[in-house]
Amino acid sequence: MKDEKTSKINEKLLKPYEPKETEGRIYKLWEESGYFNPDNLPERNGQTFTIVLPPPNVTGTLHMGHALNATIQDILIRQKRMQGYKTLWIPGTDHAGIATQNVVEKDLKKQGISRHDLGKEKFLEKVWEWKEKYGNIILDQLKKIGSSCDWSRSRFTMDEKYSEAVKVAFLHYHKKGWIYQGERVINWCPRCQTSLSDLEIEYLEQQSKLYFIKYPIKNSKNFITVATTRPETMLGDTAVAVNPNDERYKNLIGQTLILPIQNREIPIIADESVDKDFGAGAVKVTPAHSLADAEIAERRKLPSIVIINQFGKMTAEAGKEFEGLSTKEAREKVVEKLRQLNLIEKIEDYPNRISICYRCNTAIEPRPSLQWFLKMDELAKKAVSPVQNGEIKFNDKRWEKIYTDWLSNIKDWCISRQIWWGHKIPLDGADDVLDTWFSSALWPFATLDWPNADSKDLKEFYPTQVLSTDRGIINLWVARMIFSGLEFTNEKPFSNIIIHPTVLDKDGRRMSKSLGTGIDPLVLIDKYGADAVRFGLIYQMMGGQDIKFDESHLLAGKKFANKIWNIARFVVSNPPNDGQNSNLSKEDKEIYEKLEQVIESVAENMNSYNFGQALHIIYDFVWHEYADKYIEYSKMRDSEERGNALSSILASALKLLHPFMPFITEEIWSMMPGKNKKMLIIEKWPKT
């Protein structure tokens, strides 16, 4: 019977390894086993281990950053599952207010319809229809890379229970007096017709112009020169500011200027925020259309004049000849007018960073707007404390500084958005929706049925242990989850934070479909297999540096998979003789000693989240120590001399490799000899 079984196994192993024939079948076996669900796991050690998937937007599709982060989290959860923890990896999606509304609006536009044609109620029906049809695409794609999430617990930030959690959180803050409504200068997107936080804008490098404009001093033939990239906003100036320590202007502070074109009197003021080295050292102050200028105006009690409306058009306050013009048209007209008045000193080429909406790429127009804000003083203190005292640790200290610096200089959070898709502010008369990040800040505990204090999942799986995410949302999301967790549960939401590298193209450029530098992980999975893609990403994850993606590492991963397959073919073809290994040779002892060292080193690196180093150690051992040396030595031995070292070393190697390359290791494990063998996904992690 043994020979017959071995023969069947060998027949399968004789064929080359084919990921396309294996991965879908293996993933189905995992799902059918129920082992992704912690309630179905056998022989647990009494400890839980929980991680949450950073919820991708329902508009999203898998990109290389998702692939890397999903692999990191899967490595974590698979290792802990094998170590006997009751493991839960919670997946789900974010409703992504602005992004999703934009996508649906674009879809309607193709049909010649706008959201206003439909009205709010009908439009939201269309958004829900779109979400049901397309909203889980990225979760299905995550399965392709092997993500072993508990899909039965998948959540959405606008499902019924989650929406109730958002409402409870808002009313909690409101009752404490931390939520208020006020008019502030905010980032405004004229296309999306909504406010945006500082963290929701992106910057576009472009070649611009720096205009040096002469502002005449009242009752004098002299003037002060102001440099600006946006001359059209001068129509709303209410002061010119200089640095109080700038010797060039000390005698001018307090004097009055005549604002060109508008012929309005404005003061020369001193403010330490002024950069003496920018332009001529004097800056125009337009409080209504610059966040920095609004702060100067607040300190110096300056008036604010709105000259740009919510559609990016000039208002009547800009003057009759400019009213109704776009900002671009107004700029051209203002410059021409200044030329006629001989008030342009010079114009220089100037590399400039313009702020754009992170969803539609429209230029941002700062402007005053009535919005809802959350006071941040107390919450910021809550968030800083556990990081400073070491209760919450970043995998790299440099991220801790970025985190604490932001929280130390934080402003009140503008939590309202003027769109239709999202969580409506739960107050009578409020027609805005909440910032998407307000709801995602509750993710680690709202996914576990908070605020239901009797929730079994909340009691058992909260707090979570590790968060893995991208550095771009340390402030947008990580900080907000920490203060939310402490505020609503009195517990930190996680203890450790992994900020994973950013995946760049091979030339070090940001990966972007629009820039032509994006790479589709699904195409790579189809070409090399999921294990090879996982291998290639993690193998390059060394020393905390960003990854300049090189496809050759995926090819190396594919070759390594084939190597493991060939190793298994030899080992399974040479089964141990009745499991005896009492007469160990010198070479047997050496390979066991090296395996112990590998197990220790891998454990140490994985505990420190140095996954790249761990994979390098396993790779070198399997390929060079085990295959090149020990297997070659074994080939020279008589079959009677072979003990079970060949098989037991492979078994340990497969266990160590499983979190990194789960598909091929599970497939080979199923063909390994042994009685009462469980699936590899729940086998015990190797110990020394």
CATH of the domain at 551: 1.10.730.10
Do 560 and 447 reside in the same domain of the chain? Answer: no
CA distances from 434 to 11, 372, 437, 438, 477 (A): 60, 9, 8, 7, 15
Q: Are residues 398 and 347 in the same domain?
A: no
Q: What is the per-residue pLDDT for 4? A: 53
* Average pLDDT over every residue of 120-134: 95
Q: What six digits make up the tokens of 284?
A: 């125009």
C-alpha torsion sign, points 112, 114, 117, 121: positive
Residue 290, token pair as written in the block = 């610059």
424 and 326 in a common domain? no
Where among 357, 375, 400 does a domain terminate?
357
The answer on 645 and 546 residing in a single domain is yes
Residue length of the chain: 688
- Asked whether the bond before 351 is cis by omega within 30 degrees of 0, the reply is no
Same domain, 311 and 401: no
191 in any annotated domain? no
674/622 same-domain check: yes
Q: Does 484 fall in a domain?
A: yes
Report the chain's C-alpha Rg in angstroms. Answer: 31
202 and 356 Cβ atoms separated by less than 8 Å: yes
Rounded Cα distance between 86 and 41, Å, is: 7
Residue 532 belongs to a domain: no
Highest mean pLDDT among 80-89, 192-201, 503-512: 80-89
Q: What average pLDDT is seen over the chain? A: 93
Given a cut of 50, whether residue 1 has pLDDT beyond it is no
Does 101 share its domain with 217?
no
Paired sense of beta strands 413-414 and 393-394, if any = unpaired
Q: How far is it, in rounded angstroms, from Cα 214 to Cα 580? A: 94
Lowest mean pLDDT among 200-214, 220-234, 650-664: 200-214
Residue 258 CA to residue 214 CA, distance in Å, equals: 10
pLDDT of residue 8: 55
CATH number assigned to the domain comprising residue 163: 3.40.50.620
- Looking at the fold, whether 257 and 322 belong to one and the same domain comes out as yes
269 pLDDT above the threshold of 90: yes
Total count of domains within the chain: 3
Is 70 exceeded by the pLDDT of residue 323?
Answer: yes
Q: Give dist(CA 78, CA 679) in Å, integer.
A: 12
Give the domain extent around 40. 34-174+392-500
Domain final residue, candidates 357, 384, 411: 357
- Label residue 688 by pLDDT band (50, 70, 90): confident
Using CA atoms, how far apart are residues 133 and 313, in angstroms rounded to an integer? Answer: 37
Residue appearing with tokens 């008369």: 429
pLDDT band at 676 (very low <50, low <70, confident <90, very high): confident
Return the closest-CA partner of residue 416 out of 107, 614, 181. Answer: 181
How large is the greatest C-alpha to C-alpha distance in the chain, in angstroms? 110
Claim to verify: residue 550 and residue 420 sit in the same structural domain? no
Please state, in angstroms and as integers, the Cα–Cα distance from residue 573 to each residue in 385, 418, 525, 638, following that order: 59, 67, 30, 14
Q: Does residue 627 have a pLDDT over 60?
A: yes
Structure token pair of residue 639:
């079959």
User: Which CATH number is 301's domain given?
Assistant: 3.90.740.10
**Would 186 be classed as within a structural domain?**
no
d(CA 27, CA 681): 11
Tokens of 132: 């049901």
pLDDT score of 512 more than 80: no
For residue range 563-579, list pLDDT tens digits in order: 999 999 999 888 766 54
Helix (H, G, I), strand (E, B) or coil at 688: coil
Location of structure tokens 């306050």: 317
What is the four-CA torsion angle of 314, 316, 321, 326, rounded to 10 degrees?
A: 10
- 357 band by pLDDT with thresholds 50, 70 and 90: confident
Which residues does 61 contact at the CB level (< 8 Å), separation at least 6? 137, 138, 141
E strand or H helix that includes residue 126: helix 120-134
Sheet-wide strand order for 264-270: 256-259, 264-270, 239-242, 282-285
58 lies in a domain?
Answer: yes
Residue 497 has pLDDT above 60, yes or no: yes
User: Tell me: the pLDDT tens digits for 2-59?
Assistant: 455 555 566 778 788 999 999 999 999 999 999 999 999 998 899 999 999 999 999 9
Token pair of 93, please?
A: 């999606």
d(CA 430, CA 302): 30
Look at the block and give the residue holding tokens 């979190």: 659
Answer with the one of 500, 523, 558 that is the final residue of a domain. Answer: 500
In a domain, 187, yes or no: no
- Per cent of the chain over pLDDT 90 is 82
pLDDT at 582 over 80: no
In a domain, 526, yes or no: no
CB atoms within 10 A of CB 166: 22
Q: Could you give the CA distance from residue 56 to residue 687 in angstroms, rounded to a whole number?
A: 36
* Section 201-229 average pLDDT: 92
Do 270 and 210 have their domain in common? yes
In contact, 252 and 294? CB cutoff 8 Å: no
339 domain residue, yes or no: yes
Q: Within this chain, do residues 667 and 554 fall inside the same structural domain, yes or no? A: yes
**Is 326 found in the same domain as 240?**
yes
Beta strands in 393-471 (DSSP E): 393-394, 413-414, 416-417, 433-434, 466-470
